Every structure is written in C-alpha cells, then in structure tokens.
Structure 1
Amino acid sequence: MAHRGLAILAAALALSCLVYLVIGVRGNWGFVLALRAERLAALLLVAASVAVATQIFQTVSGNRILTPAIVGFDALYILIQSVLVLAIGGLAAAQLPEIGRFLGETAILALAAVALFAALLRGAAGDVQRMVLAGIVLGVMFRSLTAFVQRLIDPNEFAAVQIASFARFNRIEAGPLWIAMAVGAAALAGAWAMRHRLDVMALGRDHAISLGLDHRRMLMTALVLVALLTATATALVGPLAFFGLLVTSLAHLVLRDHRHAVLMPGAALIAGIVLIAGQTVFERALGLAATLGVVVEFLGGLVFLALLLGRGWR
C-alpha cells in the first residue's frame, strides 16, 4: 500500500515537473527550458531538504507539531538580512557576490544551530525538550533584535529587508544553486543511510538504547543533518517556517506508514508537488500577482492549529 502511494506521488511529481517546464513556452525553447530547469532543480532541492529535515526533527523530538524553525532559523535569517542592510545599505547588499553571500548565510545558520544542539545536549539524557524551549526563547530574542535593527534602517532601504522576509522562488542564482545541491545531496544521502536507525529512535530513548542504539551519538548526527538541510534551503530561498509541517502531515495522512524509508521520500515528493504545482499556477495563471511562500506558510499555519487543537501530534 505504501509503495503504491509513493508510486502515485512520484507520477504526480513527474507530471508537475513536465507541466512546469513546457507550459506557455514561446520562442527559443533551449533558452527557456534551461532557465526553467534551474528553477525546477532549486524547487526540488528545497522541497526535499525541508521535508526530510522536518521529518527527522519530529522523530528526534518525539513531537509531530514541531519543525526546525522552532529553534529560530527563520528569525536568525531575517536578523542577518536586517543587520546587513543596516551596515552597508540595501543597494550594496544586493550587489554582494551571490556565492559568497550564500556561503556566509549558510555557515552562520548551520553553525548557530549546531552550537545550540551541542550546548544543550551535553547532559547524559540529551534533553531535547530543553533544546526546543531554548530555541523558542532564542527565536523571540532574534525577532526583538530584528525589530530594533529595522527601526534604525533608512525607510527607503527597508524594502530590501521585507523582500528577504519571505521565501522567494522566482529568482535563484545558478552559482549558489550548484553549491546548495552538493551540500543538500550529501545531507540527504546521510539521512537516507540513517532511515532504519531513525525508526528505532522513534520508539523512544529507553527502547532505542535497549535495542543497542547509541542514542546520544545518533541524536547529534541527526540534528547536524537537520541543521545542514534547513540552513541550505533557508539561505537559498528564504525562511519557510510551516512548510515542512504541512508536507510531513500530509505524508502521514496519505501514506499511513511509520517507516522513515516511506515517510521521508513521501514527504519530499509531496513537498515537490506543492512547490512546483503552486509555482506553475502563480507564474502562468496569476502572473506572479501573489507570492507562493506566503500561501504555503498560511496553509502550514492552519495545519499546525488543526494538529494542535485535534491533538494529532500525539
């Protein structure tokens, strides 16, 4: 049953990719297809990275309503953009080399997350709940600092910060994309290699240890992969707080399987369908009159409330 569901999702994703590539093409097919193929690769990478990172984070935290954004990824990213605009101005920030800026943002986000994980998981028990609470507090602190910095920014340059506050899929540079694909592919391969051990982790710490799993080492490895995947996706397109929650919840609903060998690819396939089909509609039918990232976050927020109120996180 699960394999049939994955096959249907894969077929739907392939159809979405084909429609995205060929719909409305006029003029030079080679140029248009090459341009769209780059955007398509970015959408697939972001979809897989966010979906897998969220699934792993929910497993290690033992809670289906949490996402990596809970530790303040999105708030830290917006703070970085705000400080950058305040320091050198919006025009200078826009003219920075894309590769250097991407690498810097990815490094800051990943290192901050790993530092948080390492500092809070030193105890013998590996208190994930304490890490989550600390992440919430840090997120509030980052948002407060961002609000203070934004008050100091020239109003004429504030638009640069506003643009960076939402995920953007229309303009993705080729240079950062290839680096992101290399990092993302390595992290996704690592996550796939851990799929059976993640099934054991999902049983709980005590059961995992009794079955011979080095829980502490596995926990840190999983969180490092979460940091890499989330940092890469965020630095490439911007913050996506609730998108991972949306697609992982749909994966549980559609596939009804507890195995990570099914849930991770299923969530990645659903994420790809949502992003690619959504971007096709926004580009071809709506003429980019609205932003896909805002709609996705709104739907993800509704799913969060539904899970919370319906206690679907248990």
Structure 2
Amino acid sequence: MPETAAPAAPPDPAEVAGKGATRPAASLRNRIRTAPPRLVIGILAAATVAAVVFFLFSDLKGNVGYVLPRRALKVAAMLLVAVAVGVSTLLFQTVTANRILTPSIMGFDSLYILVQTALVFTVSAAAVTSAPPTLQFAVEVVLMVAFSALLYRWMFTGATRSLHLLLLVGIILGSLFRGFSSLLQRLMEPSEFIILQDLFFASFNNVDPALLGVSAVIIGAVCIPVWRARHTLDVLALGRDLAINVGVDHRRVVMRILLACSLLVAVSTALVGPVTFFGLLVVSLGYQLCRGFNHARLIPIVVLIGAVALVGGQLILERVFGFATALSVVIEFAGGILFLYLLLKGSLK
C-alpha cells in the first residue's frame, strides 16, 4: 500500500496570536527605517513645534506677562542644549568611529563638577551662588575649553598621534577629576555640600537671559562651519585611510571638530549643567531614523529629536507630575539603560 503523509498538526493558537502581534510592530519599524529623510525631518519638526506651543500656552494662568516670558526662556535654553549636545555627540562619534563614546567620556562633566566643588571649597557656597552668572559662565567655559585644547594639542603634536590614546587619557583624567572632587566634598561642611549637590544636575528653571544670548551666539558660530563641512564629515565617517586618500587633511579637520565639540559641550554644561547620556540617547535614535552617514540628514534629525525629548519631557514633568523630579534624572536613567544595552550588544561601530 502507498504510504500516506501524516496530517499536519494544527497550528498553536498562542503561536499564531504571537506572530500576528509581532508583524505590525516589525512592519512599523521597517516603515520608519525606510521612510524618506525629508518626511522624518518634517514629522520631527512638527512634533517640536507642537511641543513648544503646548509648553508655552497650555495651562496658562495668573500673570501672563510674567509666566509666558519665563516659559519662553526655558524653551530657548532647552533648544540650545538640544543643538549643542546633539551636534557635539554626533561629531564626536563620527571622528572616533564609535557609537558608544560621547564627549563626556573625555572628562568634561567631571571637570565641571571639579570646578564647582573647588569653588565652593575654597570660597564658600554663598559666594558661588551670589557671584555674577556671566563670571561663572566665562570661568567654566574657559577652563573646559582650555583643558580640551591642551589635551588635543599634546596628543596630536607629539610623536604619538593616536585618537585611541586620546580617549584613554580622557577617561583617566575624568576618573582623576571625580576622585579629587569626591575628596573635596568629604572635607567640606554638610550645609555647603547640600548646596553643591544642586549644581550637579541640569536645570532649565534658573537660566540667566544674558547667558542665553551669549550661548546662542557661540553655538551658532560653531554650528555654521560644522554645517558647511557636512560633506567632509561624510567622508570622515568612512574611515581615516579613505579620508586621506580622497584628499582630506585628516589631522587638521579632526582637531577642528574636536575643538568644536569641546566648545559646544562647555557652553551647554556651563549654561544648565551636565547631561551625560542625553547625547548618546538622541544620536542613537537619530541613527535608527536615518540609515547611513549622511550628515545633511543626521544633523537636523538629531537636533529635532533632542528638542522633542527636552521640551516634551519637561512638559510632562511639569504638567503631569508637578515637578516631582528633575528632567536630567529621567534622561540619565534612560540614557544609562541605552548605554548598557549598546555595550552588551557589542555595538562598537
């Protein structure tokens, strides 16, 4: 007798339901990744405008002439930070060819904490908090940029010109700054330490209008040449050897980009405080929405993602949670989880 095939087992209803549930999610991810960059930029721009409008005019009560300018000041600060941190992180990852590293790995946040700690320890917390904001801003920016300039000059003008050695030295110096800051904090008075802790978290509530204007001028002066060099950045993303083969002065261009990153991070940190993982968060999302290394698309996408995250996040925290926590704490939490995920995944590209 001819053999007859055994009847196929009926499919598992749970498995069918699971496949049906995952298909729309996978289809949505594929559609997002293959969407035209102009459409993505347009959607992000519309989301940014909507978040800004809701933040400015939602639940607007009391003295409008007082409340509205303060909200506009906070929105302007958040937009400047989104531009500075997003662009600096994108440039830094392009130069280092690594999607995990951020400018904070070079010790900028640790240097900021050390400067604040040293000022409070040597002078007093009252003197630091009552000092002119422009003086504090100038001191912090000058120290951080001078630190990075000396580091880059030493690394790129000596006999050993290695970008990886530069990153290693930055990590070591960051650890040194944190250790020295911790020592000074243990020696100071508890009341001054409590005041000092408030300076370690990014805050958009007490931004000085004069500092905002100066920061906008500096960030604009840095971002304009960066945008003009977007095609050179595309070549740098392909690797050092290929960039040199097509005629790019790699050493000079990398030095300029690193100094631009230093200035952007210094201005952002001095304006509102350190936001360690924010750049990693927005740039990682930007790479997901823009497949490739086209900086003409990556730069606006990263900036708009940062603007939506900051303005929208601050809107939720203020209107929904009633200032129950600081936005920087939520950003650091989400960015830290993403950092661990990328590290475990091995995304060292």
**Superposed pair shares fold, TM > 0.5:** yes
Which residue does the alignment assign to 1:24?
Answer: 59
Q: Bigger shift: 267-276 or 150-159?
A: 150-159
Match of 1:302 among 325, 334, 337: 337
In the TM superposition, residue 126 of structure 1 has moved relative to its aligned partner by 3.8
1:206 aligns with 2:241: yes
In the TM superposition, residue 125 of structure 1 has moved relative to its aligned partner by 7.2
In 2, the alpha carbon distance for the partners of 1:296 and 1:170 equals 16
Which residue does the alignment assign to 1:85?
Answer: 120
Q: Deviations over 1:44-92 (max 9, x none)?
A: 0001100000000001001010000000011110011111111111111
Q: Bigger shift: 186-195 or 129-138?
A: 186-195
Match of 1:141 among 170, 176, 179: 176
Higher alpha-carbon Rg? 2
Which residue does the alignment assign to 1:121?
Answer: 156
In 1, the alpha carbon distance for the partners of 2:222 and 2:161 equals 22
In the TM superposition, residue 162 of structure 1 has moved relative to its aligned partner by 0.6
1:173 aligns with 2:223: no
Q: Secondary structure at the match of 2:43?
A: helix
8 Å CA contact 1:85–1:160 kept in 2: the answer is no
Q: TM-score, normalised by structure 2?
A: 0.88
In 2, the alpha carbon distance for the partners of 1:123 and 1:82 equals 32
Match of 2:302 among 264, 267, 270: 267
Q: Where do 1:1-12 residues align within 5 Å?
A: 1-12=36-47
| AA of the residue aligned to 1:224 | L
In 1, the alpha carbon distance for the partners of 2:236 and 2:278 equals 24
In the TM superposition, residue 124 of structure 1 has moved relative to its aligned partner by 7.1
Q: Percent of aligned pairs with the same residue?
A: 42
Q: In angstroms, what is the RMSD of aligned CA positions?
A: 1.2
In 1, the alpha carbon distance for the partners of 2:160 and 2:225 equals 24
Q: TM-score, normalised by structure 1?
A: 0.97
In 2, the alpha carbon distance for the partners of 1:307 and 1:72 equals 21
1:192 aligns with 2:223: no
In the TM superposition, residue 31 of structure 1 has moved relative to its aligned partner by 2.8
In 1, the alpha carbon distance for the partners of 2:63 and 2:200 equals 34
Which residue does the alignment assign to 1:254?
Answer: 289
Q: Deviations over 1:7-62 (max 9, x none)?
A: 11111111111111101111333332221111111100001100000000001001
8 Å CA contact 1:86–1:153 kept in 2: the answer is yes
Uncovered stretches (5+) of structure 2, i.e. residues with no partner:
1-35
| AA of the residue aligned to 2:333 | F
Which residue does the alignment assign to 1:278?
Answer: 313
Q: Bigger shift: 24-33 or 197-206?
A: 24-33
- Describe the shift of the 1:238–1:174 C-alpha distance in structure 2 as closer, same or farther (beyond 3 A): same
Between the two proteins, the alignment pairs up a number of residues equal to: 314
In 1, the alpha carbon distance for the partners of 2:161 and 2:260 equals 17
In 1, the alpha carbon distance for the partners of 2:107 and 2:186 equals 21
Which residue does the alignment assign to 2:32?
Answer: none
Match of 2:98 among 57, 60, 63: 63
In the TM superposition, residue 123 of structure 1 has moved relative to its aligned partner by 4.6
In 2, the alpha carbon distance for the partners of 1:153 and 1:271 equals 36
Match of 2:139 among 93, 104, 111: 104
1:240 aligns with 2:309: no
Uncovered stretches (5+) of structure 1, i.e. residues with no partner:
none
In the TM superposition, residue 206 of structure 1 has moved relative to its aligned partner by 0.7
Q: Secondary structure at the match of 1:132?
A: helix
| AA of the residue aligned to 2:152 | F
8 Å CA contact 1:54–1:226 kept in 2: the answer is yes
In the TM superposition, residue 109 of structure 1 has moved relative to its aligned partner by 0.8
In 1, the alpha carbon distance for the partners of 2:171 and 2:74 equals 32
| AA of the residue aligned to 1:69 | S
